[in-house]
Amino acid sequence: MVSRMFRLETEVDKVRRDLLRSRLADTNAAASPVVAALRGTPGEREVPLHVWASDEAGELAGGLVGHTWATWLQVTYLWVDERHRGAGLGGRLLAEAERIARDERGCGAARLETWDFQAPDFYRKQGYEVVCVIPDYPPGITEYTLVKRFRTNAFPANPLRARRQGGVPY
């Protein structure tokens, strides 16, 4: 076994972060034909998707922040002011983001994370399925990852996927 010396550093370094991100993207593309096929296409970029709701006074009543990437909508934040909860605003914000992702950006699915005290039941009512449960993340809380497919054939035709599936895209 070869023993090597390395100096480990812990400071935040945006230049090295970007270099690491670039090198990881290259490594991933070399290892995955699906990721390689995304390189240089519009699907490779994360495109922000924000939906805002204002009340009669023009104040922020709620909003959704996320992005689309590789035919997926990633919902990062969804919040409704307490005064407006129970009026269907959260569902409207989510439905509008899904509509934009599906109809304008060609997405076939959405994903999000939520904690047990936040909104897992709300998302289930919106058609999302729990695909991952992480107990004690953070300690004393359970995190859920949920996914929703937008249509029966959730993904647009992909020649790489079609080859693996015997020529029939799914």
Residue 162: pLDDT band (50, 70, 90) is very low
Task: Give me 62's structure tokens.
Answer: 């709620």
Given a contact cutoff of 8 angstroms between Cβ atoms, the answer to whether 108 and 154 are in contact is yes
Instruction: Print burial letters for 132-153: b (CB count within 10 Å at least 16), e (below 16).
Output: eeeeeeeeeeebbebbbebeee
Residue 160 has pLDDT above 60, yes or no: no
Predicted confidence at residue 4, as pLDDT, reads 87
Given a contact cutoff of 8 angstroms between Cβ atoms, the answer to whether 108 and 155 are in contact is yes
Residue 167 has pLDDT above 70, yes or no: no
Residue 168 has pLDDT above 90, yes or no: no
pLDDT tens digits along 48-75: 999 999 999 999 999 999 999 999 999 9
Given a contact cutoff of 8 angstroms between Cβ atoms, the answer to whether 150 and 127 are in contact is no
Q: Where are the beta strands (DSSP E) in the chain?
A: 47-54, 60-69, 72-80, 109-115, 129-134, 143-149
Predicted confidence at residue 43, as pLDDT, reads 83
In whole angstroms, how far apart are CA 42 and each of 20, 77, 98, 104, 170?
Answer: 22, 23, 19, 13, 21
Closest CA to 76 of 91, 64, 88: 64
pLDDT, the chain, mean: 89
Predicted confidence at residue 166, as pLDDT, reads 41
Residue 134 has pLDDT above 60, yes or no: yes
Query: What would the mean pLDDT of 111-133 be, rounded to a whole number?
Result: 98
Residue 154 has pLDDT above 70, yes or no: no
Predicted confidence at residue 31, as pLDDT, reads 97
Residue 163 has pLDDT above 90, yes or no: no
Which letter does DSSP use for residue 45 in this model?
S
Predicted confidence at residue 153, as pLDDT, reads 46
CA–CA gap between residue 107 and residue 7 (Å, rounded): 43
Residue 157 has pLDDT above 80, yes or no: no
Do you find a cis peptide bond into 138, omega within 30 degrees of 0? Answer: yes
CB atoms within 10 A of CB 61: 20
Percent of the chain with pLDDT over 90: 82
Predicted confidence at residue 41, as pLDDT, reads 87
